[in-house]
Chains A and B, each alone.
Chain A
Amino acid sequence: MSKKMHISLTVNGKQEEFLAEPRELLIYTLRERLNITGPHIGCETSHCGACTVTIDGKSVKACTMFVAQADGADVTTIEGLGNPDSLHPLQEAFKEHHGLQCGYCTPGMITRAAKLLEENPNPTEDEIRFGMAGNLCRCTGYQNIVKSIRAAATEMNAAKEAAE
Chain B
Amino acid sequence: MKDEITSRDDRVANLKGMGCSRKRVEDARFTQGKGNYVDDIKLDGMLFGDFVRSPYAHARIKSVNSEAALKVPGVLAVLTAEDLAPLGLHWMPTLAGDKQMVLADGKVLFQGQEVAFVVAEDRYAAADGIEAVEVEYEELPVIVDPFKSLESDVVLREDTVDENGKATDGAHGPRKHPNHIFTWEVGEKDATEQVIDEADVVATETMYYHRTHPCPLETCGSVASMDKVNGKLTLWGTFQAPHAIRTIVSLISGLEEHNIRVISPDIGGGFGNKVGAYPGYVCSVVASIVTGRPVKWIEDRMDNLMTTAFARDYWMTGKISATKEGKITGLHCNVTADHGGFDACADPTKFPAGFMNICTGSYDIPTAYLAVDGVYTNKAPGGVSYRCSFRVTEAVYFIERMIEVLAIELNMDAAELRRINFIKKDQFPYQSALGWEYDSGDYHTAWDKALKTVDYDGLRAEQAERVEAFKRGETRKIMGIGLSFFTEIVGAGPVKNCDILGLGMFDSCEIRIHPTGSAIARLGTISQGQGHATTFAQILASEIGLPADSITVEEGDTDTAPYGLGTYGSRSTPVAGAATAMAGRKIRAKAQMIAAYLLEVHDDDVEFDVDRFVVKGAPERFKTMKEIAFAAYNQAIPGIEPGLEAVSYYDPPNMTYPFGAYICVMDIDVDTGVTDIRRFYALDDCGTRINPMIIEGQVHGGLTEALAVALGQEIAYDDQGNVKTGTLMDFFLPTAWEVPNYETDHTVTPSPHHPIGAKGVGESPHVGGVPCFSNAVQDAFRPFGLRHTNMPHDHWRIWKTANSLGMHD
A54 lies within 8 A of chain B by Cβ:
no
Q: Tell me whether A95 and B32 are in contact (CB under 8 A).
A: no
Contact of B531 among A31, A79, A101 (CB under 8 A): A101
Most buried by A among B34, B42, B703: B34
A59 lies within 8 A of chain B by Cβ:
no
- Contacting residues, chain A, for B73 (C-beta < 8 A): 1
CB distance from B484 to the nearest CB of A (A): 17
- Contacting residues, chain A, for B23 (C-beta < 8 A): 95-96, 98
Contact of A31 among B30, B34, B39, B696 (CB under 8 A): B39
Most buried by A among B23, B31, B35, B530: B31
Q: Tell me whether B218 and A42 are in contact (CB under 8 A).
A: yes
A142 lies within 8 A of chain B by Cβ:
yes
- Contacting residues, chain A, for B435 (C-beta < 8 A): none
B269 lies within 8 A of chain A by Cβ:
yes
A62 lies within 8 A of chain B by Cβ:
no
Output the nearest chain B residue to A80 by Cβ-Cβ distance.
B33
Q: Tell me whether B301 and A42 are in contact (CB under 8 A).
A: yes
Given A136-B217, A138-B271, A143-B742, also A79-B32 (CB < 8 A): yes
Q: Tell me whether A104 and B37 are in contact (CB under 8 A).
A: yes
- Contacting residues, chain A, for B698 (C-beta < 8 A): 101
Q: Tell me whether B217 and A105 are in contact (CB under 8 A).
A: yes
Once the chains are docked, how many angstroms separate the CA of A31 from the CA of B122?
A: 13
Q: Tell me whether B216 and A44 are in contact (CB under 8 A).
A: no
Q: Tell me whether B30 and A100 are in contact (CB under 8 A).
A: yes
CB distance from B381 to the nearest CB of A (A): 22
Once the chains are docked, how many angstroms separate the CA of A141 from the CA of B703?
A: 7
Contact of B268 among A21, A32, A103 (CB under 8 A): A103
Output the nearest chain A residue to B31 by Cβ-Cβ distance.
A91
Q: Tell me whether B124 and A23 are in contact (CB under 8 A).
A: yes
Q: Tell me whether A110 and B31 are in contact (CB under 8 A).
A: yes
Name B's interface SS: loop
- Contacting residues, chain A, for B35 (C-beta < 8 A): 103-104, 106
- Contacting residues, chain A, for B693 (C-beta < 8 A): 98
Once the chains are docked, how many angstroms separate the CA of A23 from the CA of B701?
A: 37
Q: Tell me whether A142 and B27 are in contact (CB under 8 A).
A: no
B705 lies within 8 A of chain A by Cβ:
yes
Which one of B177-185, B421-429, B726-734 is at the A interface?
B726-734
A47 lies within 8 A of chain B by Cβ:
yes
A45 lies within 8 A of chain B by Cβ:
yes
- Contacting residues, chain A, for B735 (C-beta < 8 A): 129, 132-136, 142
B128 lies within 8 A of chain A by Cβ:
yes
Interface string of A21-41 (1 = CB under 8 A from B): 101100010011001111111
Q: Tell me whether A106 and B269 are in contact (CB under 8 A).
A: no
Once the chains are docked, how many angstroms separate the CA of A91 from the CA of B31?
A: 6
Most buried by A among B124, B128, B735, B742: B735
Q: Tell me whether A107 and B697 are in contact (CB under 8 A).
A: no
Q: Tell me whether B42 and A95 are in contact (CB under 8 A).
A: no
136-164 of chain A: CB within 8 A of chain B: 136-146
Given A42-B218, A139-B269, also A144-B736 (CB < 8 A): no
Given A42-B217, A141-B701, also A47-B729 (CB < 8 A): yes
Q: Tell me whether B33 and A37 are in contact (CB under 8 A).
A: yes
Most buried by B among A94, A100, A102: A102
Chain B interface size range? 35 or more
Contact of B215 among A87, A95, A138, A142 (CB under 8 A): A138
Contact of A102 among B128, B269, B705 (CB under 8 A): B269
Contact of A43 among B30, B271, B301 (CB under 8 A): B301
Contact of B33 among A44, A78, A130, A133 (CB under 8 A): A78
Most buried by A among B531, B693, B733: B733
Interface string of B542-568 (1 = CB under 8 A from A): 000000000000000000000000000
Once the chains are docked, how many angstroms separate the CA of A87 from the CA of B27?
A: 12
Q: Tell me whether A100 and B269 are in contact (CB under 8 A).
A: no
Q: Tell me whether A87 and B32 are in contact (CB under 8 A).
A: yes
Q: Tell me whether A143 and B269 are in contact (CB under 8 A).
A: no
103-128 of chain A: CB within 8 A of chain B: 103-107, 110, 128
Once the chains are docked, how many angstroms separate the CA of A47 from the CA of B30?
A: 21
Output the nearest chain A residue to B267 by Cβ-Cβ distance.
A102
Output the nearest chain B residue to A137 by Cβ-Cβ distance.
B217
Q: Tell me whether A102 and B217 are in contact (CB under 8 A).
A: yes
Q: Tell me whether A103 and B216 are in contact (CB under 8 A).
A: no
Q: Tell me whether A138 and B701 are in contact (CB under 8 A).
A: yes
Given A38-B34, A50-B217, also A95-B28 (CB < 8 A): yes
Q: Tell me whether A133 and B737 are in contact (CB under 8 A).
A: yes
- Contacting residues, chain B, for A84 (C-beta < 8 A): 28, 32
Once the chains are docked, how many angstroms separate the CA of A137 from the CA of B694?
A: 16
Once the chains are docked, how many angstroms separate the CA of A99 from the CA of B301?
A: 24
B158 lies within 8 A of chain A by Cβ:
no
Q: Tell me whether B700 and A141 are in contact (CB under 8 A).
A: yes
Once the chains are docked, how many angstroms separate the CA of A98 from the CA of B26?
A: 11
- Contacting residues, chain B, for A1 (C-beta < 8 A): 73-74, 124-125, 128
B419 lies within 8 A of chain A by Cβ:
no
656-710 of chain B: CB within 8 A of chain A: 693-694, 696-705
B635 lies within 8 A of chain A by Cβ:
no
- Contacting residues, chain A, for B28 (C-beta < 8 A): 84, 95
Once the chains are docked, how many angstroms separate the CA of A1 from the CA of B705?
A: 41
B266 lies within 8 A of chain A by Cβ:
yes
Given A28-B123, A91-B31, also A101-B529 (CB < 8 A): yes
B719 lies within 8 A of chain A by Cβ:
no
A48 lies within 8 A of chain B by Cβ:
yes
Interface string of B114-131 (1 = CB under 8 A from A): 000000001111001000
Once the chains are docked, how many angstroms separate the CA of A83 from the CA of B128?
A: 39
Output the nearest chain A residue to B739 by Cβ-Cβ distance.
A142
Q: Tell me whether B729 and A45 are in contact (CB under 8 A).
A: yes
Once the chains are docked, how many angstroms separate the CA of A129 from the CA of B35?
A: 25
- Contacting residues, chain A, for B125 (C-beta < 8 A): 1
Given A50-B217, A141-B703, also A100-B27 (CB < 8 A): yes
Output the nearest chain A residue to B26 by Cβ-Cβ distance.
A103
A82 lies within 8 A of chain B by Cβ:
yes
Q: Tell me whether A139 and B124 are in contact (CB under 8 A).
A: no
B468 lies within 8 A of chain A by Cβ:
no
- Pull 30 A–B residue pairs with CB atoms less than 8 Å apart, ordered by A: A23-B124, A32-B42, A36-B33, A37-B39, A40-B218, A41-B39, A42-B217, A47-B733, A78-B31, A91-B32, A94-B31, A95-B24, A98-B24, A100-B27, A100-B529, A101-B530, A101-B697, A103-B30, A103-B35, A129-B735, A129-B737, A132-B736, A136-B217, A138-B705, A139-B701, A140-B700, A141-B699, A141-B739, A143-B739, A144-B697
What residues make up the interface of B, taking CB atoms closer than 8 Å to A?
Answer: 23-24, 26-35, 37, 39-40, 42, 73-74, 122-125, 128, 215-219, 266-269, 271, 300-301, 528-531, 693-694, 696-705, 727-729, 733, 735-737, 739, 741-742
Shortest beta-carbon contacts, A-B, top 6: A38-B33, A103-B30, A102-B529, A104-B268, A141-B700, A101-B529
